[in-house]
Amino acid sequence: MAGQAELQCEAPTGVLPRTAAVIPMSRAGGAPDPFADAMALLAAAAQRPVSAVRVGDSDVVRVDFEFGRYCLARNDEAGLCADPDAIGSWTVTFHDVEGGPARVLAEATDEWLADAFDLAFDALGAAVAAQSPLQAVVEG
């Protein structure tokens, strides 16, 4: 159980859209966290703190990055589903809130969380490169 305690972090501040509420999820009575594997995988892949949070009416796994960017992962249209038999695929989205309202920078869906994260991360890199003025200098 010590590994689970290391993955939990405080709710991030100032990086969600104004309409979203962040409520850290906790399991009463020391019950095992059904999302511990997803949190461990994202912590390893992103090398960042990970938390399960409530956004609106949905539970999601969240990774915070610098510059107002964050990643959300869900395994159900409504958020996280704890029933492993009901899980069809994972959707990972990268968001940016710096300088205005939140916007989705990249999104990917795959049967496996690791693959969805990799696909979304690659899409994020392509989107950032396409918007960067340095790209024109490198290619030009």
Q: In what order do the strands lie in the sheet with 69-74?
A: 22-24, 50-55, 58-64, 69-74, 90-96, 103-110
For residue 109, give its domain range: 2-139
Q: What is the pTM of this model?
A: 0.68
Total domain count, the chain: 1
Structure tokens at 38: 């997803």
**What are the beta bridge partners of residue 8?**
none
pLDDT-derived band at 50 (thresholds 50, 70, 90) equals very high
Distance of CA 24 to the CA centre of its chain: 14
The arithmetic mean of pLDDT across residues 79-101, rounded, is 80
Q: What is the pLDDT of residue 132?
A: 63
Which pLDDT score, from 0 to 100, does residue 80 have? 79
- Cα–Cα distance measured from residue 60 to residue 77, given in angstroms and rounded to the nearest whole number: 11
